[in-house]
Amino acid sequence: MKVIICGAGQVGYNIARYLSGENNDITVIDQRPELIRKISDSLDAKAVVGHASHPDVLEQAGVGDCDMLIAVTHADEVNMVACQVAHSLFNVPTKIARVRNQSYLNPMWGNLFSRENMPIDVIISPEIEVARAITRRLKVPGALDIIPLANNMVQLVGVRCHAETPVVNTPLRQLSVLFPDLQLVVVGIVRNDRAIVPSADDQMLPGDEVYFVVSRDHVMRAMSAFGHEESETRRVVILGGGNIGLFLAQQIEAEHPEISAKIIELDRERAEFVAKTLNRTVVLNGDALDPEILEEGGVGMAESCVAVTDDDETNILAALLAKRYGARRSISLLNKTTYNSLMGTLGVDVVVNPRAITVSHILQHVRRGRIHSVHSLHEGFGELIEADALETSSLVGKPIREVKLPNGVVLGALVRQGEVIIPRGTTVVQGGDRVVLFAAADAVKKVEKMFSVRLEYF
């Protein structure tokens, strides 16, 4: 597949890294020569210096015969115009744009991005997606990550194991013996910053981050099995009233009336705007690193404190201070991945990475075959994929133990006629089943083929 990526920032670079590693024809456009040099030096991708929305630059990048254009520059307007030019002048089939300014996304102007006006096929709004990801974590205390799949019938959950976690030092094959009714499959383990695709004989150790697929109805039982029985969030303090903090508060107000929220925002003008926009959220104007403000915000009584300012270092320090002053759990927004390995030892409970969330949303529109959603796990470790099994698929019609799954692939769950099935060796996948699986990075292309429609099918 031929893909042009406009923007060589963190998101653009990581999409290029994923796709170029799978033998796609990738070209990246950016105005900054140093970023283009980094692309040329480290990836198997072409790189063009220039303005991403200019027709001559797009033509130089080979837009005339490309299959997809992904516009993720820092400017919404450049992203939108690049898609418009790609459509109007070069008839590019699929156009994806990152749009941050909420004025463009207001439902009042819903027809702006129609095919007749500004033809963008997929719009990604990172701030809204990040706010949703944080809300999911608030609802499942103790979860590092939680991703809904198969119309929310199945969920991926990430947890951190401790010495007192009941299931540590237990071979994975024994989980079904210890918890025969628990619909759960461990699909990945991160140990000492190294990702492992587990076998049935592997054990979970203290300090591991464990990712498992579980039926939605069994999430709380699974959390209990992993030693996480923290109290549900009733009070949350949000540090930072930017777009993410505002969307998070709006989501809490709209969907979770049982949660009361407070926001601490440093900029007075912004704090006033946020206070006018929200209905029942208390907004305080002050510094999230000021102990008096934290005390006034009630962090000592809060089950969760969420640090979402636009500065990583402030988020880390504010989250740690909040815990010191009594918050039960801290969630910190981090754009840089260099700090990730420190978070557990420092005491930050959950890290949210906007880049990883954005990349995941874009990947699900790039993947081929009958694939519904894709979620990138742990910095390129692999992908959690949700797809429909076709009658012609090599998965269908025989017990899973007889299917030659590619190395690095773990089946997590099947959904058949509204019922969640946790796959065992004797399970037979049927045509039309919704399949949730994990694929290590080097197995993703093989998985795509398993879910592609073959010509003889017609």
Assess whether pLDDT exceeds 80 at residue 12: yes
In 3D space, the residue among 152, 157, 79, 88 whose CA is nearest the CA of residue 122 turns out to be 79
Residues 6+ apart with CB under 8 A from 132: 251
E runs forming strands in 117-173: 122-124, 145-149, 154-160
Helix, strand, coil percentages (3-state) for the chain, rounded to 5, are 35, 25, 35
Measured at the CA of 146, the angle between CA 262 and CA 153, to 5 degrees, comes to: 120
Domains in the chain: boundaries: 2-124, 235-352, 357-457
CATH of 357-457 among 3.30.360.10, 3.40.50.12780, 3.30.70.1450, 1.10.730.10: 3.30.70.1450
Give the CATH superfamily of 2-124: NAD(P)-binding Rossmann-like Domain (3.40.50.720)
Percentage, residues of the chain above pLDDT 70: 98
- Cα distance from N-terminal residue to C-terminal residue, the chain: 23
Q: What is the pLDDT of residues 400-435, one digit of tens each?
A: 999 988 899 999 999 999 899 999 889 999 999 999
Helix axes 268-277, 243-255, angle to 10 degrees: 20
Element (H, E) at 243: helix 243-255
Q: What is the pLDDT of residues 427-457, one digit of tens each?
A: 999 999 999 999 988 888 888 888 875 543 3
Q: What is the pLDDT of residues 241-266, one digit of tens each?
A: 999 999 999 999 999 999 999 999 99
**Same topology for domains 235-352 and 357-457, yes or no?**
no
Q: Once rounded to an integer, what is the mean pLDDT over residues 226-233?
A: 85
**240/266 Cα distance (integer angstroms):** 7
Task: Please provide residue 294's backbone torsions phi and psi, each rounded to the nearest 5 degrees.
Answer: -60, -40
Q: How many CB atoms lie within 10 A of CB 90?
A: 17
More confident residue, 455 or 330: 330
* 3-state secondary structure string across 58-75: HHHCCHHHCCEEEECCCC
Tell me the helices (H) and strands (E) count for the chain, helix number first. Answer: 15, 22
**62/144 Cα distance (integer angstroms):** 41
Q: For residue 170, give both structure tokens.
A: 């237990």
Domain 235-352: which topology? Answer: Rossmann fold (3.40.50)
Q: What is the pLDDT of residues 373-410, one digit of tens each?
A: 888 887 777 889 999 998 888 889 999 999 988 899 99
pLDDT of residue 457: 37
Assess whether pLDDT exceeds 90 at residue 101: no
